[in-house]
Amino acid sequence: MGSSLLSSPVSISCQAILFDMDGILISSIASVERSWTRWAQLRGVDPAKTLELAHGRRAVETIALLCPDLDPESELEVIEDIELADNEGLTVLPGVQQLLAALPADRWTVVTSATERLARIRMAAANIPIPARLVTADRVTRGKPHPEPFLAGAALLGVSPSDCVVFEDSAFGAQAGRLAGCTVVATTFSHPIESLDAAHYVVHDLDEVAAHAHLGQIMLRLQPRSES
């Protein structure tokens, strides 16, 4: 049974927030799809299957699934260079700037399946704040849907996973956050709502989320657009 969109306001108290990047803070889906399509064509792999597997996964794991005979680290450099050269159409998603501005800088970070180099360049291009320390594909040994990335994010901020809220747009990401013991809020940016059943709450986007920080606690208010 899948999830459903939030139908009434909800308040969540937490100590830290862990954001996915692509599909939560920024939209680079056109660049991602162009880049992976180009890589698939270079390697003689079905582009449609490639795009199906790539979203929400670390590139090295996508490569290993599609081309187990190739060196994933070498191929990672190839796809990363392709992606770095393509920032066309990159946009900040609704509600992001307002939400980040309301959060203490040391109480949130980004947990992404992108490499650190790619993540920093994309966030800089989108002109959004970049945390001093991130959890990226090259900082973990197992990517989403394994909980390791979000466990690492909680540890990075010195907070228990149960005191963290995860914002995700992918089924793999929502599963990883849930397995890590975090409260998961998913958006409907990239995946059908039926696939987001690992999330505790589902909203359209971060425009439906407000934050207030006080004495080390963050109070999040999830308010459906129909209730705004």
Residue 163 annotated among the catalytic residues of the structure: no
> What are the Cα distances from residue 139, in Å, to 66, 77, 84, 113, 224?
22, 16, 19, 10, 35
Residue 207 annotated among the catalytic residues of the structure: no
Distance CA 151, CA 162 (A): 10
Judged by DSSP in three states, 94 sits in coil
Tokens representing residue 139 in the block: 């900082």
Judged by DSSP in three states, 7 sits in coil
**Alpha helices, DSSP H, located in 18-157:** 29-43, 47-54, 59-66, 72-84, 96-101, 116-126, 148-157
**Residues tagged active-site:** 20, 22
